[in-house]
Structure 1
C-alpha cells in the first residue's frame, strides 16, 4: 500500500496544473488559496488552534511539535465553477497539484521540522467587453478580449518547538515566487474602417521571502480531554518583482505579425500584516471541534494604485472517529469531518466588497499502518448575481495521500 501511495504521489508531482477560471482572479495577485491540508480543508479550513498527530499542520508552525512520525503528504484538487449574472453564464473545470509537504521530528516531542510547496494564489480568467468608439456615430466599434493566467507559490520551511509547560512556538519561512501573464487583445473595425487587431501583453514575475510566527498551548482538562489554543502572526512585507510589457501586432485572422518590447520596470507588492487566532476542544481519538478567526490588513498593503479592504475569515469545523480501536469495522475507524467558513475578501469590485461562503466535509480513510487516504469536498459561493457583479458557484474536491512512518531511526534488531 505504501508503494501505491508513493506512486500516486509521483503522479501528482509530475501532473500538469490547469486552473479553473475565476472572474475575480484579475484582482491583485489573484485568488488567494487556503494554506492547509485536506484534513483542515474538510473541517471548514480550521487549523490554527487544531493540532494533529497524523497530519502536517501548515497553518500554524508551532503545532508541528505533535508530529512524532515522519509524515509525507501530497494531494490533488479539482475545481468546478459556474458563473451567473446580468446576461452572463458559463462554467469551467480545472485542477492540479494542491499541496506537497514533508515533516519529521528532530527531537521528538520537542522540535519538529517541515518543508513543502503550497499554491499561494491563482490567476485564470477570460472576459470580453465591447462598445462603440466615441465620436464615430456608431460606425466604429471596439472589442476587448482580456485573459490572465499564472499565480504564486509558497516554498516553505517550518519549525515547531515545545517550550516549558506545554507552550509551543513556531516559525515558517516562505519563499514566494511565480509569474502572472495578462493579455488584452483589442479589435477595432466598422463601416469603411478595416479591422485592426493589437495585443498588449504584460508578464509580472515575483520572488521574495516572508515569515510567519506561530504559538500554541494545550491544556489538559481530564484524562483524554484537552483544549488547544493557537495564534499566528505575519508582519507586512514586500514582494518584489519585475514587469515586462510587449505590443503584438496581429493579422485580421489573429496571426502574429510583430512583437515589440515596450519596456521593463520594477514591481513591489506589499503583502499585508496577518493575525489569526484558533481554539479547539478535543476528546482524544474520538472527536475535535475547532474555531479559527483570521484577518489581514490589506488596506495598508497591496498596490498604491488599487484600493483594498481588510480581509476577515471565520471558520468552524469538527472531526469525529466513531471507534478508533475497532478491528472488526473499517468504517468505524474512518475520521469524518465537516465545517463551514465565511471569508470577506480584500478585493473591491464596483465599490462592493466580495464575500465567499463555503460548506466543507470529508473523510480520512486509514490504510497500511498509520497512513491514510484523505478526501475533502467544498461547496462555495463567491460574489452575487446582482449590483453589476457575477456570482460564482463552485465545487472543490481534494484527494490526498498521507504516509506516516518512523524513518531515519537506526534498527537495534534485525
Structure 2
C-alpha cells in the first residue's frame, strides 16, 4: 500500500499547480471564488451528506468519524467539470479538470484516529466582459481572475461512551487570488487597468459530534452535529493601475504602471471574514447493506466580508442547504458475483448559496449518483456523477447547467501490526 500511496501522491502533487486553475464559472468572480471541496466522492454521490460514517472510509467534513477508523486509509480524488453557461442573449460551454483532495487517516487504538491532508478549498477562474452602449460615450469593461485558497488540515476524533464520537479539525488556509479589471471608453485612446492581488493565510476550525445507536437487530441509527465558528484570516494586498493600448495584433500593452500605496489608506493588510455554519444530520440503515439519511445546514453568509475587494453587483445573505442521500450494497461478502459487492449511491441537494447577484439570491439544485467498486482487501475505487443548475438568467445574470464526474481511490491497510514469533 505504501508504494501505491507514493505513486499516486507524486502524480497529483506534480499536477497540483495546474489544477489550481480549477474554475471556469463566472460566479468565481465573487468572494474568494468557487467552492471546490464539498466532500469526498462517497459523500458527494449521496447529495453531500456527512452524517454517514464507517470504519474504513474517511469523512473529511465530519472529524468525529475518525473515532471509528480501524484501518490506515489513503484517499485521493479529482474530477471533470462541464458547464453550459447561459444568459438572456447567448450561451457558451466550458470545462475543466481538477484535483480535489489528498488525505491520510490513521487509527490510534480502538477508539481514536487522526487524519491530515490537502484540499483546494476555493478556486477563481473567470473572464467576462460587458459593453454598455446605453451611455455616452460607450463603455467596455473586462474582468478576469485566477488563483484560489487551499487548506492543509489536521483532524482528530475520539469515540466515547460507546455511542458518542467527538472530533475537531484545524485548517491552515493559504493561497493567492488575482483580479483584474479593464475599462475602455469610446473616443479615448488608452484604456485603464486595475490589478489587485491578495495573499491569504490563517487558520479556521471545524467541530463535530456523532451519536450512533442500534434501534433493532437490523436497524442502526446515525446522527451528527457539525459546527464551524466564524473566523478571520489575513489578506496581504497589492494594487497597481496601468494605462493600456492595443497593438496591431490586439494584444493589450501597458504604457504606464503605478503601484498604489495601500498602506496609506490602511488596505495593505486586511482581514477576510469567514462565515459561521451549523449542520445537523440523521439517518438509519442496516450495517454494511444500506443507509438513508438527510442533512440540513445553515451558513451565516451575511457575515462574509472582504475588506479589500468589493465585487460589482454582488452581496451576501444567510445561506442554507438540504441534502438527502442513500446507498445500497446487495451482498458485501459475495464471492461469486462482483456486482453484488458494489455499493450503489444516490443523492439530491437543494441549496440557497448565500450569494446575491443584482440583489437576487443564487440557488443550486443538483442530483448525484455513484458507485463504490471493491478492490483488493477493503480498498475501493469510487465514481460519482452530479448534474444540476445554479443561478438563472433573470435580471442579466448567468445560469449554469453543470455536469460533474468524480473519481477517487480509497486504499486501506493495517499498519503497525505486531509480528508474532512462534
TM-score by length of 2: 0.91
Quote the residue 2:169 is aligned against.
Answer: 172
Quote the residue 1:341 is aligned against.
Answer: 349
Deviations 1:13-51 (A, max 9, x none): 32121324111111112222343111001111111x211
Inter-partner Cα distance in structure 1 for 2:96 and 2:419: 45
Match of 1:236 among 214, 222, 230: 230
Inter-partner Cα distance in structure 1 for 2:190 and 2:143: 16
Quote the residue 1:323 is aligned against.
Answer: 331
Q: Is the 8 A contact 1:12 1:76 kept in 2?
A: no
Q: Secondary structure at the match of 1:387?
A: helix
Deviations 1:187-231 (A, max 9, x none): 2343xx5x3133211001111111111101111123343101100
Deviations 1:248-298 (A, max 9, x none): 333322123343211341221211111110111121111111211111112
Quote the residue 1:182 is aligned against.
Answer: 179
Inter-partner Cα distance in structure 2 for 1:343 and 1:114: 29
Query: 1:323 Cα deviation (Å)?
Result: 0.9
Alpha carbons of 1:312 and 1:33: their partners in 2 closer, same or farther (altered >3 Å)? farther
Q: Is the 8 A contact 1:357 1:381 kept in 2?
A: yes
Quote the residue 1:255 is aligned against.
Answer: 253
The equivalences for 1:216-227 within 5 A come to: 216-227=210-221
Match of 2:138 among 119, 137, 141: 141
Inter-partner Cα distance in structure 1 for 2:235 and 2:402: 32
Quote the residue 1:84 is aligned against.
Answer: 86
Q: Secondary structure at the match of 2:52?
A: coil
Query: 1:6 Cα deviation (Å)?
Result: 5.2
Q: Is the 8 A contact 2:325 2:345 kept in 1?
A: yes
Q: Is the 8 A contact 1:311 1:343 kept in 2?
A: yes
Query: 1:243 Cα deviation (Å)?
Result: 1.5
Query: 1:143 Cα deviation (Å)?
Result: 1.6
5+ residue gaps, structure 2? 263-267
Q: Is the 8 A contact 1:19 1:93 kept in 2?
A: no
Q: Is the 8 A contact 2:315 2:357 kept in 1?
A: no
Match of 1:156 among 150, 153, 167: 153
Indicate the RMSD between aligned Cα atoms, in angstroms.
2.0
Q: Secondary structure at the match of 2:215?
A: strand
Query: 1:171 Cα deviation (Å)?
Result: 0.6
TM-score by length of 1: 0.93
Inter-partner Cα distance in structure 2 for 1:144 and 1:234: 38
Quote the residue 1:14 is aligned against.
Answer: 14
